[in-house]
């Protein structure tokens, strides 16, 4: 079985911005390269060191902690000299320009990857089209299960799955008020749970479509992310029966702020700039080989899915 992320240096990611930086503007752009640091911790450090509100610091994408990543942050109202105040172990900062608008999640064209795949014997055949599944990073330990409980209105189950002192403390003082306990959590976190469940449902529908039609037939298809606003639910009929849910369940009346209208996602992604390095001895797995694979993906696509499918049986 191939091995990924044995070391942070095995997984290198560089964001591809969707805009050009300017010489002047309301927002300073920082290029940040980090190792074993999560994105939100870096954003908080920038705000603290530069003496601005956390809301004045934005980024275009969340990146894996256990990797070497280069990504972009915007800071309102600061000049290039501000970078001199930024110090953090495992992180380097570079002021590279300005923009008139803050960065936001998704304001990327895509990401470039250089991934070391270990514990292998040979190279797989090249493919350029892959199902655009969400991968395990989206789900955490059981984010999707919490999301399912929220959508089905089983707030007791949701609380049981969430290990958080805010939930436990509230229930100790207000036994049985599970909706109230959930309200102690940030809206952003609760929404993440619902989105994780939508992602699980999407993956199941996409899996069924790939089995039925094959990847090539889905090249230009877009699949709904199920929500209360989804009009064409025919693709989800089987999955909704299995899950015992309906689109209206995504209207969460006791927690209306996390109700989800849904959306859509490309069914298939095209990998570009693909390159296999030479097979080399894997120093971490004696008798096995390793290889560096580089490629680019559009935003929202998971490189780990590409690697998994390359080293699995052909579809």
Give residue 313's pLDDT.
54
Q: What is the pTM of this model?
A: 0.87
Of 63-67, 99-103, 195-199, 285-289, where does mean pLDDT reach its minimum? 63-67
Q: Is the pLDDT of residue 64 over 90?
A: no
**What are the tens digits of pLDDT across the range 147-159?**
999 999 999 999 9
Average pLDDT, the chain: 94
For residue 64, indicate whether it is catalytic.
yes
**What are the tens digits of pLDDT across the range 67-119?**
999 999 999 999 999 999 999 999 999 999 999 999 998 789 999 999 999 99
Region 162-183 average pLDDT: 96
Q: Is the pLDDT of residue 315 over 60?
A: no
Q: Is the pLDDT of residue 23 over 90?
A: yes
Q: Is the pLDDT of residue 62 over 90?
A: no
Q: Is the pLDDT of residue 279 over 50?
A: yes
35-39, 188-192, 197-201, range with greatest mean pLDDT: 197-201
Q: Is the pLDDT of residue 28 over 60?
A: yes
Give residue 242's pLDDT.
96
Contact 75, 57 (CB under 8 A): yes
Contact 29, 98 (CB under 8 A): yes
User: Reduced to 3 DSSP states, what percent helix, strand and coil does the chain have, rounded to the nearest 5?
Assistant: 35, 25, 40
Return phi, psi of residue 223, to 5°: -115, 135
Name residue 2's beta-bridge partners. none
Q: Is the pLDDT of residue 255 over 80?
A: yes
Q: Please, where are the H alpha helices in the chain?
A: 39-50, 143-151, 155-161, 165-173, 178-182, 187-213, 237-243, 303-310
DSSP state for residue 224 in the 8-state scheme: E
Region 161-188 average pLDDT: 96
- Pairing mode, if any, of strands 11-17 and 129-131? unpaired
From the candidates 23, 64, 84, 144, give the one annotated as an active-site residue.
Answer: 64
Q: Is the pLDDT of residue 54 over 60?
A: yes
| Sign for the pseudo-dihedral over CA of 141, 129, 6, 107 | negative
pLDDT above 90 as % of the chain = 90
Taken in order of first residue, the domains within the chain and their CATH numbers are 19-106 (3.30.70.3160), 136-268 (no CATH)
């Amino acid at each position: 079985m191939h091995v990924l992320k044995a070391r942070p240096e095995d997984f290198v990611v560089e964001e591809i911005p969707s805009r050009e930086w300017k010489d002047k503007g309301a927002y300073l752009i920082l290029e940040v390269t980090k190792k074993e640091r999560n994105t939100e911790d870096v954003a908080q450090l920038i705000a603290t060191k530069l003496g601005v509100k956390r809301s004045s610091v934005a980024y275009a994408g969340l990146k894996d902690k256990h990797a070497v990543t280069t990504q972009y942050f915007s800071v309102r109202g600061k000049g290039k000299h501000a970078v001199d105040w930024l110090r953090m172990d495992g992180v380097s900062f570079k002021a590279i320009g300005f923009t008139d608008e803050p960065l936001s999640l998704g304001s990327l064209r895509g990401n470039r990857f250089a991934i070391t795949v270990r514990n292998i014997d040979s190279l797989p055949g090249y493919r350029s089209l892959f199902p655009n599944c969400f991968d395990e990073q989206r789900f955490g330990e059981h984010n999707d299960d919490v999301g399912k409980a929220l959508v089905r209105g089983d707030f007791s189950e949701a609380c049981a799955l969430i290990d958080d002192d805010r939930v436990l403390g509230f229930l100790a003082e207000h036994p049985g008020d599970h909706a109230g306990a959930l309200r102690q959590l940030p809206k952003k976190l609760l929404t993440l749970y619902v989105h994780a469940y939508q992602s699980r449902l999407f993956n199941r529908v996409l899996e069924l479509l790939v089995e039925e039609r094959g990847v090539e037939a889905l090249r230009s298809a877009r699949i709904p992310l199920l929500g209360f606003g989804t009009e064409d639910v025919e693709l989800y009929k089987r999955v909704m029966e299995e899950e015992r849910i309906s689109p209206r369940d995504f209207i969460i009346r006791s927690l209306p702020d996390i109700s989800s209208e849904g959306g859509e996602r490309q069914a298939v992604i095209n990998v570009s700039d693909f390159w296999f390095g030479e097979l080399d001895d894997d120093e971490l797995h004696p008798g096995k080989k390793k290889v560096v694979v580089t490629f680019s993906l559009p935003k929202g696509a998971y490189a780990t899915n590409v690697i998994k499918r390359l080293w699995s049986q052909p579809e």
